[in-house]
Chain A
Amino acid sequence: MTTSSVTPESSPAGPDPDAPPAHGDLAAVAATAPIEGGIGDYFRTYVQRVRSGDMGSLPAVAGLIVLVIVFWILHPTFGSLANFSDLLKQASPTIFIAMGLVFVLLLGEIDLAAGTAAGVCAALMARLSVGYGWPWPAAIGAALVAGLVIGLFTGWLCAKVRIPSFVVTLALFLAFQGVELFFVLNGKGAHGNISITDNVITDLYNGQMEPWLGWLLLVIAVVGYALVKLQQVTSRSRAGLIAEPVSLVVLKVIALAVLLAVAVYLLNRNRGGTGGTQLINQGGKLVMVRPPALQGVPWVVLMIGFFFTIWTFVLTRTRYGRHVYAVGGNTEAARRAGIRTDRIRISVFVISSFMAAIGGVLIASNTHSVDANTGGGNTLLLAVGAAVIGGTSLFGGRGRPADAIIGGLVVAVIANGMADLVQGNNRDSIQYIVTGAVLLLAAAVDALSRRRAGAAGLG
C-alpha cells in the first residue's frame, strides 16, 4: 500500500533507464566482474564478508542453536512437542512487532511506542468486538486501520515537524497507555478486563491448521523458493552475468525443504498428552471419549511466513525497498538522488505501527482478553531486542525481515527456557537479567561489527 505512494515521480529523470547507454558489451562486463567459480568461491566470499564485520544473522542463529541445546539438556521437557509449538506461538507477537521495527531501525530511527500502539489497537478491537458486537473482520480491520493512523501521525511528527523519533515515540508511548486505558474503561461491555468471546479472534493465536494444509503450504513454500531462485540464476546467466552456482541453489532448496519438513512433521504429531480416553459429562451421561488430537501447524506460522515473504520482497525487489536502505545508509545522498526522504520516513512508521497492530491482536488472542497492561511492560523492549539480536543495526542501513523472526525466536526461547528452568521467587528477576544481557550482547556485536566494517571500508 505504501509502495505506490512513495515511489518518486512516475518516470525517472534523465534518459530512459530501460535503454541504458550503449557501451555495455559482455567483454566489458567480464572486465569488472568477479572471478566466477563454484560453491568454494562463494563460501570464501561469505567468510570474507563475515570477517569484515558483515555477520548478518550468524551470531543469532548460532546463539539460538546453543540456547536450545542448553535448555534441552538442563530441562528435557523443553524439547517436547507441545513446547515446540508453544515456542512458535509465544514468539509470534514479538516477531510481528519486531518485523515492523526493522523498517524503522533501517532508517536509524526508533519506535518506542510500538508496544503501547499494539495495546491501543488490541483494546480497540476488543471493545468493538465484545462491547459493540462487531464481527471479527470489522473489529480486526479497525485495529489495523488504527495502526496505520498511528503510524501516519508518528511519521508526520518525525519527518515533517522534525522532532527526533526518540522523543516523539517516547511521548506517544505514554500517551497511548492513556488511550488504551480509556478504551478499556469506557464504552459498552465489560470494563477493566475485556474478555474476548469471538472464537476466530482467539483462534488466531491458539489455533492450528489441519495437518494436510501444513504439508501443502510446505510444498508451496519450497517450490516457490526454488522457482524464484532458479529464475534468478537462469536469467542472470542468460544475460552473461555472474550467477549463483546451481549446485549451491540446489543445496539451499534442499536445506529449506528438510528444515521445514522436520518442523511440519513434528508439529503435525499429536502433542495433546497421552491420547488416552477420558470420561466426560455429555447431556447428563458420562461417556468415554478420546480427547481430540492436538496437532497441526499453528496459524501464526502461516501469518509470519506471509508477512515475511511480502516484506522481504518489498525490501529487496522494489524501488521503495531500495530507497529505504538508501535513506538509512545516507539520507543526504538519497535526497540528492531525488528520493523523497520525508515520505520514506513516514512510511516506515506506518509499517511499524501496522505490524504492531497485528502483534497487539495476537497478544489479545493469546490471553483471550485485553486490559490496561496489554502491550505494555517489556513488550516493546523484547521486540527491539529481537530485531537487534537478529542482526538489524541500530545505526540504520542494515536489517532484514528475517532478523525479526530469528531474533524473536531467540527471545522466546530464553523466556520459555528460563521459565521452565528457574522456579520460585527469583524466576522473573533472572529472566529479565538474562534477556537484558543477551540484548546488550547483541547491541555490542552490532556496534563492533559496524566498527569493523568501517575499518574494512577504509582498507
Chain B
Amino acid sequence: MAEPALSLRAITKSFGPVEVLRSVDFDAYAGQVTALVGDNGAGKSTLIKCIGGTYTIDSGQFFFEGREAHVHSPRQASELGIEIVYQDLALCDNLDIVQNMFLGRESHTGPVLDEIAMEKAAAGALASLHVRTVKSVRQRVSSLSGGQRQTVAIAKSVLWQSKVVILDEPTAALGVAQTAQVLELVRRLADQGIAVVLISHNMNDVLQVADRIAVLYLGQMAAIVDRKEVDQQQLVELITTGRTGTTGLPASSATAGV
C-alpha cells in the first residue's frame, strides 16, 4: 500500500495522572475512509484533538505525507492540510453558505471582499461533491437542515484542498435519508483522493462506508482491520472487550486498564 497521508507512531497523551492515549499507532491513507471507533472514553476525541493541534502529544511521532511534523495549534494543522469537521459543526447561523465556507480565509482585493470569486469557488466545491440539495449558496445557514449543514461543513474541506479530513460523528443528529446522503458524501470525499477519518458510534455507518477500521480500547489501539475482514459482531466485540478471536489486544493487556 502507498505511503499513508497521516501516520502516528506510539502516541501518548496524559492529563495529569490519567493516561488517555497509550502508545497509539494510527494511519490514514489518501483515497480511503478510515473509521475510528471505540466506546465512550476510549480516547477517540483526544486522538483527533492531538491530530488537529488542539492538544499537544506527550511523546510519539507524527508524520504527515511521510515527513515528520510538529503540530502545536489548530492553525498549524490546517496549514498542513488537516481539516476537522466537528460534531457541533462550527458554522455561523447568521451567515450564508459562501460566507461560512470562507470564514477566516476570505478572498479579498485590498480591503474589499471578493464576493464573486468566493461564490464561484463555493458553488464549485459543492458541485464537485454532486450536492444538489442546496438551493442557493447565498442561503443563510440557519435555513438549512442538519444534513445540509453537514454538507456545507464537509464541502469546506474540499474547497480548501485538505489532505486529511476528520469527521467527528457526522451522522449523529441526522435522519435516515440525510444519513445516507452524508455517507455518500463521505465516500465521494475519499474518491477525490482525500484521506478521510470517520469517527462514529453507528456500526452500520462504519461498515457501510469505511475501507479500514481502527478500534480504540481504553486508550490503546486494539486493532486496525480491513473492512472486509470483520462483521458487525466482531466489531462490537473489539469495541467492548478490545479483542475478538485472535485479533486485538492480548488478554492480559486488554484488561489491564480496567
Contacts and interface: CB of A to CB of B under 8 A. Distances in A.
A17 B93 contact: no
A31 B94 contact: no
Interface string A77-102: 00000000000000000000000000
B120 A332 contact: no
Interface in B73-101: 74-75, 78-79, 81, 86, 88-95, 99
A239 B92 CA distance: 26
B161 A17 contact: no
Interface centre among B89, B111, B117, B128, by most chain A C-beta atoms within 10 angstroms, is: B111
A245 interface: no
Given A29-B120, A334-B92, A21 B103 contact: no
B67 interface: no
Given A18-B107, A29-B123, 14 more contacts: A17-B107, A23-B124, A24-B120, A24-B127, A25-B127, A32-B136, A241-B119, A241-B120, A329-B95, A330-B90, A330-B93, A332-B88, A397-B94, A453-B142
A3 interface: yes
Interface string A9-20: 000111101101
B136 A34 contact: yes
Interface string B146-166: 000000000000111100000
B183 interface: no
B92 A397 contact: yes
Nearest to B131: A32
A20 B120 contact: yes
B136 A457 contact: no
Interface in B57-82: 74-75, 78-79, 81
A440 B112 CA distance: 37
Contacts of B117: 17-18, 20
A338 B127 contact: no
A454 to B, nearest CB: 8
For the complex of A and B, 6 pairs with smallest distance between CB atoms: A24-B124, A28-B127, A20-B121, A337-B104, A329-B92, A329-B94
A451 interface: no
B256 interface: no
B92 A23 contact: no
B137 interface: yes
Given A14-B79, A334-B92, A20 B159 contact: yes
B55 interface: no
B106 interface: yes
30 contacts: A12-B105, A13-B79, A17-B102, A20-B118, A21-B121, A23-B125, A24-B121, A24-B123, A31-B123, A32-B127, A32-B132, A32-B135, A33-B123, A33-B137, A34-B136, A34-B138, A239-B116, A239-B120, A317-B113, A318-B113, A319-B113, A322-B99, A322-B113, A323-B104, A329-B93, A334-B103, A336-B86, A397-B93, A457-B144, A459-B145
A14 B95 CA distance: 22
A319 B108 contact: yes
A54 B104 CA distance: 25
B105 A14 contact: yes
Contacts of B119: 29, 241
Interface in A332-356: 332-334, 336-339
Nearest to B121: A20
Contacts of A454: 142
Interface in A216-232: none
Contacts of B103: 322, 326, 333-334, 337, 339
Contacts of B131: 32
A160 interface: no
Contacts of B160: 14-15
Nearest to B113: A317
Nearest to A317: B112
Interface residues of A, number: 54
A127 interface: no
Nearest to B114: A18
Nearest to B83: A14
B92 A20 contact: no
A235 interface: yes
Nearest to B91: A333
A459 B74 CA distance: 33
Contacts of B89: 333
Interface string A270-304: 00000000000000000000000000000000000
Contact of B116 (A23, A235, A337, A459): A235
Contacts of A33: 123, 136-137
Contacts of A317: 111-113
A330 B159 contact: no
A398 B142 CA distance: 12
A325 B113 CA distance: 14
Contacts of B145: 458-459
B194 interface: no
Contacts of B214: none
B127 A12 contact: no
B106 A23 contact: no
A141 interface: no
A138 to B, nearest CB: 30
A240 B144 CA distance: 24
A236 interface: yes
A351 to B, nearest CB: 16
A457 B120 contact: no
Given A20-B120, A23-B124, A317-B112, A336 B161 contact: no
A328 interface: yes
B48 interface: no
A336 B124 contact: no
Given A14-B161, A339-B103, A457 B92 contact: no
